[in-house]
């Protein structure tokens, strides 16, 4: 599913006693993605009642870039943490993200029939099971973090849980979706409202993906704050690029219906700024994100490459 930009090998010049190193983002992402896929598969074995487990697994294992889990793993590693510390939270982030996709796709919400090239959850299992599959994934995310995380102090784990809860609820995803629904069909949506929607609907979960990785690794407040700013910048860049792709890409390339924003008369960055200015703004955000982690040196190369990947991505 994940297609890094062509020529995604980053070369970073270092202090005189080191040689410059080259980094193969494509290989890095493939490897992390495979680790996440295997961990997700293990996280939710089929059980009784079968219908609900099948429905949860159908959406959780439907592919996708796994950007949120990878951000969590990469940040934890950047700070010297181990995969054992971060993998359960990485899986939980994808469970929460999947819940939001299942519920957003419902006829009562965005009414989408396809997601990642496959029929949406409710088209296969019905609206009732789709609602319950989302609820089940959301509740399981918190349980899974507690039951499976290793070598992390309990008070750090509690902080991860609190931040994940906030990122999903009315102060995060849910709040963003509400304002998004309220803005549909309105021709006078302001840039402030559009920013509110996306900082809540998209950025909040990307932010906790990065910050949870930092908390799990035991980062201090200053490091957490710097990584939060990295995440805020890539979060907004990510959404701007999503809006651009909705206009420029085909449904086949997206794996979901293209042009939906136009049809739904949704306010988007290109509709306010135009395509060129939107691309420029996304590029500025990515540069700001990279600047936030530059002081970590070589270890930040994966996070810097992921930031670049966001503006360069093609489906």
Examine residue 164 and tell whether it contacts its own copies (CB under 8 A). Answer: yes
Examine residue 128 and tell whether it contacts its own copies (CB under 8 A). Answer: yes
Examine residue 179 and tell whether it contacts its own copies (CB under 8 A). Answer: yes
Q: Which of 63, 114, 124, 142 binds its own copies (CB under 8 A)?
A: 142
Choices 62-70, 176-184, 212-220, 227-235; region in contact with its own copies by CB under 8 A: 176-184
Give min distance, CB of 200 to its own copies, in A: 9
Long-range own/partner contacts, residues 217-226 (CB < 8 A, 24 or more apart): 217/75, 217/76, 217/78, 217/79, 217/80, 217/81, 217/85, 217/86, 218/79, 218/81, 218/153, 218/156, 219/79, 223/79, 226/292, 226/293, 226/295
Q: What is the CA radius of gyration of the chain?
A: 19
Choices 83-91, 140-148, 254-262, 305-313; region in contact with its own copies by CB under 8 A: 140-148
Residues 19-48 that bind its own copies (CB under 8 A): 47-48
Is the Cβ of residue 54 or residue 287 nearer to its own copies in the bound state? 54
C-alpha span between 95 and 106 (Å, rounded) = 17
Is the Cβ of residue 77 or residue 104 nearer to its own copies in the bound state? 104
232 preceded by a cis bond (ω within 30 of 0) = no
- Token pair for residue 166? 């906030």
C-alpha span between 143 and 160 (Å, rounded) = 12
Interacting residues toward its own copies by CB under 8 A = 47-49, 51-53, 56, 99-100, 103, 106, 108-109, 126-129, 131-132, 134-136, 138-144, 146-147, 153-155, 157-159, 161-162, 164-166, 168-175, 177-179, 181-182
């Amino acid at each position: 599913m994940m297609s890094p930009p062509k020529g995604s090998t980053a070369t970073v010049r270092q202090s005189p006693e080191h040689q410059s190193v080259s980094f193969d983002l494509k290989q890095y992402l493939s490897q992390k993605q495979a680790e996440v896929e295997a961990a997700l598969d293990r996280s939710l074995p089929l059980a009784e009642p079968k219908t609900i487990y099948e429905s949860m697994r159908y959406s959780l294992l439907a592919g996708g870039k796994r950007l949120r889990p990878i951000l969590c793993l990469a940040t934890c590693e950047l700070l010297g943490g181990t995969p054992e510390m971060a993998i359960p939270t990485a899986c939980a982030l994808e469970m929460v993200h999947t819940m939001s996709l299942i519920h957003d796709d419902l006829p009562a919400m965005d009414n989408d029939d396809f997601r990642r090239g496959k029929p949406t959850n409710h088209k296969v299992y019905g609206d009732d099971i789709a609602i319950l599959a989302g609820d089940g994934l959301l509740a399981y995310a918190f349980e899974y973090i507690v039951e499976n995380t290793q070598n992390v102090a309990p008070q750090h784990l509690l902080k991860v849980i609190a931040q994940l809860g906030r990122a999903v609820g009315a102060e995060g995803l849910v709040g963003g979706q509400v304002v998004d629904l309220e803005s549909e069909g309105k021709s006078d949506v302001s840039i402030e409202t559009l920013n509110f929607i996306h900082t809540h609907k998209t950025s909040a979960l990307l932010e906790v993906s990065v910050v949870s990785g930092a908390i799990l690794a035991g980062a201090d407040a200053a490091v957490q704050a710097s990584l939060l700013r990295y995440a805020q910048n890539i979060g907004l860049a990510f959404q701007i690029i999503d809006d651009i792709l909705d206009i420029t890409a085909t449904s086949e390339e997206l794996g979901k219906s293209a042009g939906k924003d136009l049809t739904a008369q949704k306010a988007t960055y290109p509709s306010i700024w135009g395509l060129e200015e939107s691309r420029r703004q996304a590029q500025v955000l990515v540069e700001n994100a990279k600047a936030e982690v530059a002081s970590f040196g070589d270890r930040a190369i994966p996070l810097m490459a992921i930031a670049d990947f966001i503006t360069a991505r093609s489906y």
